[in-house]
Amino acid sequence: MPLDSQSQAFLDYLSSLGNPPSEKISPQEARRNFSKIFQSPGPKLELVEDRFIPSINGEIPIRFYKSSKSKKLPLLVWFHGGGMILGDLDSADGIARFLCAGAECSVVSVDYRLAPENKFPAGLEDSYNVTKWIFDHSNDFDTEPNQIAVGGDSAGGNLAAAVSIMSRDKKLPYLVHQLLVYPMLDCDFTTDSYIHNSEGYLLTKSSMKSYWNYYLANEDDKNNPYALPLQLKDYSGLPSALIITTEFDPLRDEGELYAKRLKDSNVPVVYTRYDGVFHGFFGRPTLIDKGKKAMAEACLSLREAFNKSAK
């Protein structure tokens, strides 16, 4: 099916801005353009507070969201998208607010270090360290250590998957769920979704090649499942997952394959593909009806996972 009218209108708007492709400009300029485009308002919440998490690599900025005055709420650790070189707490603010309100949980959004200034594994180290810190200091976040999930969109989906793998391998922290929205999981540019969606739908094959080149420190990283989760050999013991993909997206097939491998390893997984929309639709629930539907599905999956873990 073709792009739906709402998606086409949004892409036409982005095209009218005349911003050059991110791979044609410096990461710094691309970040400025990205932050202008992808800041989106979300609902008002009980508490929104910027904090810092200590680490051996310096303090990691986070933003803590709470939807109600309830003392104890389950918590989602959210990692923003942006190809590992773009994005920040402000670009993720709208999504974090919608997830916080809709899933009836607290959210911690993580401002992990970006490439190319900080290549793999810097962003993953920050993401895991924040998740582990929340687990170890759950009272500081009004949550329980057995009520923590992770999630992310695009590059953030990569980090959520990798944190889940690392947490399993290290046996801490315990995670109840992973929410992966059109996750960036491999650098195989020969899939059908890369071939048929290489350009014209916001995220392009050329931009993805530049993102991977910026992020990975060397060729050996391409075999590391903490960098490319689809390189994992053993998927058993990972947290339950909701994986959302979209039709017009180079990353569609790798998300579908990851869901299949989780299912084949007896990990509870729901896979949903939204047709007629593009990579980025999830962050526009007020503009794109299928974005609203996907957000509702994500929030429901979190509520169900938290309720199950509470029992």
CA distance 155 to 212: 10
Asked if 55 and 118 count as a contact pair (C-beta separation under 8 A), the reply is no
How many residues appear in the chain? Answer: 311
Cα three-residue angle 182-36-50, rounded to 5 degrees: 80
**Token pair recorded at residue 22:** 């991110």
CA distance 150 to 250: 23
Among all residues, which ones are annotated catalytic? 154, 249, 279
CA distance 92 to 111: 9
In sequence order, what are the beta bridge partners of 64?
Answer: 49, 108
Spatial neighbors of 100 by CB under 8 A, at least 6 apart, are 45, 65, 66, 67, 76, 106, 107
CA distance 242 to 131: 19
